[in-house]
Amino acid sequence: MNKIKFHLFFPLVALLLIFSGCSTVPYTGRSQLSLVDDSEILKMSVASYREVLSASDVIRNTDDAAILSKVGWRIAAAAEEFMRDEGMGELMNDFNWEFNLIRDDEMVNAWCMPGGKIAFYTGILPYAQDETGIAVVMGHEVSHALARHGNERLSQILLVQLGSTALALALEDEPEMTQALAYTAFGLGAQIGFILPYSRTHEYEADQIGLILTARAGYDPRKAVEFWRRMQAQSGNNSIEFLSTHPVAEDRIEAIQEMMPEALKYYRK
């Protein structure tokens, strides 16, 4: 293969991957990149979850652990109902729900891996405050898994790596300074123009779907505004949205308030 054809090969492969590896986010209908097989994602998810639990102080047989489990199963039932209504119920066949509370008062965090592997850290409980607050967080994190954001993030990284390889081949005969500047520009452009905006898109999608899950599970979604205001006070709101994977708290709260009327349609006490 001559040099020109070799350089054209990678962009063509990238385009082929983009058009052959797309799926749709439930409810929002956004088309997303999906280049990684879900079975591989699930294997990695289970392995990572087991590794985290084995290295953590998992709390069992306490009131907090019981509430987490109660909320978890209600959100799980709402998620399965939601996906069936979206015509994507078959995607829930690979979900094997687990809810674990990890003792770490300094970690203000919670997450849900693909397949419904959920972890809450004790550090987030004071901000959740009660069962409804836990449901707000749970609904948001589960929504990341329903929307297959993990798969999309991995796919984006693969695509960026492919672009980096193509760039290296295209610049192999250029001076080192030219190569260095090109790599810097490419990396910055990929972060600001591609990866970070998609991360913020993921957060807004998880907020939107999460409010619906919270409401369908019988929890008042309006409590989400109070939760994010508490989180805003904790963070100091010093981040710059343009260079952040998460939306600025004020923008997020405003967006949640705009989403609220739709979510309240599903609210069943």
Interval 34-90: pLDDT, tens: 877 888 888 888 999 999 999 999 999 999 999 999 999 999 999 999 999 999 999
Contact 263, 221 (CB under 8 A): yes
| 127 has pLDDT over 80 | yes
Full-model pTM = 0.77
174 as an active site residue: the answer is: no
Q: What is the pLDDT of residue 35?
A: 76
Residues 256 and 185: their CA atoms lie apart, in Å, by 34
Which phi and psi (to 5°) does residue 31 adopt?
A: -80, 135
| 171 has pLDDT over 50 | no
Q: Domain residue spans in the chain?
A: 36-151+196-264
What is the C-alpha R_g of the chain? 21
What's the mean pLDDT when you consider all of the chain?
Answer: 80
Pick the catalytic residue from 80, 86, 106, 141: 141
The more confident residue out of 137 and 180 is 137
pLDDT tens digit sequence for 185-231: 434 443 444 444 458 888 999 999 999 999 999 999 999 999 999 98
